[in-house]
Structure 1
Amino acid sequence: MLRKLRLTHGLSLEEVAAGIGAGVGTLYRWEQGINSPYPRSLQNLASYFNVSTWDFVDISPNRSELADLRLHAGLSQADIGVAFESAGIPRQSYGKLERGVLEPTPEQVRMLVKLLQQSEEIVRAAIVRSQYRKETKDFR
């Protein structure tokens, strides 16, 4: 998708790399699928091309796990942990939610809706999918 966008806009690797503050080699590895952009870089790419971060992946918000929603919001686990901590919620709670080992409180769900910029329904469904993935992984 990235290469297609770049070529459609008639841009070189150098131009896009400079536009988003990344190295040419880094951008090349993203295009080749060797590496994936960090959340902030994904946001920068989406902004640069005026598209959604969802345009870069084959999964929709309706089928996403919590980690997918976080990445598309351009946030790291640490970013959400800091936001949780500022609200009096233990910082490590988010990682446990993402791994599916913690049942969220209503306050955590409200915060995630705001931070991830998704509806409560999508956030709750992502949490359930994260928990299900953990359960099926444990039984293998």
Structure 2
Amino acid sequence: MSDKGEDNLHHRNSLPIAGLFCQFSTPRINNPAGRNDKIRTAFNSRQEDVMPRLHISDFDAAQFRSLRVRSGMSITELATKAKLSRGAVSKWENGRSKPSPENFIKVMQALEVNPEIIVPDKGDVATLFDLRAQAGLTRTQVERALNISRSAWGDIERGTARLGDKRIPILAAVLNVPEERVRQAAKNTQKF
């Protein structure tokens, strides 16, 4: 294992994305013996096409552990309730990795805790991801409410596509925040 516990299949980088202080992972092939060079070459030639995976970088492992202990659940019980692996939950708790936004929502719902405890309200600098995390919604819930595809919402949330004025009232209702807050978060999220 590289990086003392980091998954050997991912290269970890840190990058502020659209106001989120996130980490992203890009898959790479671990092949120390040099076998399957054709596979490695084919994979590496497509690596630029792989979308980065967002992770919550301001995730507080100690606070997460405290929440789990206060809930009375073991790591295994929490992982089972959240439909996640025990290893993933353990890594988050020990600070060896951080959850993706979707897994963060799952675990907070399993703990029956408001996500704002770990992802505080960022006020005027909040992004669309921040608002979604604070509302405790998964990407799927937002996509369904807006009647858009997973990739379309992913592009909007990463700031590579615009939310559009027609979607603002719907998203505001889903997130239970004022339209102006969604408008400001959308502006904070945009990369262009």
TM bin (shorter chain): 0.5 to 0.7
Q: How high is the sequence identity, in percent, across the aligned residues? A: 22
The superposition leaves residues 88-119 of structure 1 with CA deviations (integer Å, 9 ceiling, x where unpaired) of: xxx737724751653722x2111111233322
For structure 1, which segment, 17-26 or 92-101, has the greater mean C-alpha deviation from structure 2 after superposition?
Answer: 92-101
Q: Distance in 1 between matches of 2:78 and 2:157?
A: 35
- Deviation, 1:123, is 1.0
The 1:50/1:71 distance shift into structure 2, 3 A limit, reads: closer
Please show how residues 15-94 of structure 1 align to structure 2 within 5 Å. 15-33=77-95, 34-39=97-102, 41-57=103-119, 59-62=120-123, 63-72=125-134, 73-76=136-139, 80-85=142-147, 92=152
* TM-score w.r.t. length of structure 1: 0.68
Q: Distance in 2 between matches of 1:103 and 1:120?
A: 12
The 1:126/1:3 distance shift into structure 2, 3 A limit, reads: same
The 1:56/1:97 distance shift into structure 2, 3 A limit, reads: closer
Q: Distance in 1 between matches of 2:112 and 2:64?
A: 12
CA contact (8 A) 1:42 1:74 kept: no
Q: Which secondary structure state, in structure 1, belongs to the residue aligned with residue 167 of structure 2?
A: helix
- Deviation, 1:130, is 1.7
Q: Which secondary structure state, in structure 1, belongs to the residue aligned with residue 162 of structure 2?
A: coil
Gaps of 5+ in 2: 1-62
Who is 1:129 aligned against? 188
Q: Distance in 2 between matches of 1:48 and 1:98?
A: 26
The 1:7/1:66 distance shift into structure 2, 3 A limit, reads: same
Alignment coverage as a number of residue pairs: 126
Who is 2:68 aligned against? 6
Who is 2:162 aligned against? 102
Instruction: Tell me how large the CA RMSD over aligned residues is.
Output: 3.0
- Deviation, 1:12, is 1.9
Amino acid of the structure 2 residue aligned with 1:2: F
Q: Distance in 2 between matches of 1:20 and 1:97?
A: 23
Q: Distance in 2 between matches of 1:23 and 1:84?
A: 30
Q: Distance in 2 between matches of 1:97 and 1:15?
A: 31
CA contact (8 A) 2:91 2:98 kept: yes
CA contact (8 A) 1:14 1:24 kept: yes
The superposition leaves residues 66-95 of structure 1 with CA deviations (integer Å, 9 ceiling, x where unpaired) of: 12223444222x654454346xxxx73772
* TM-score w.r.t. length of structure 2: 0.52
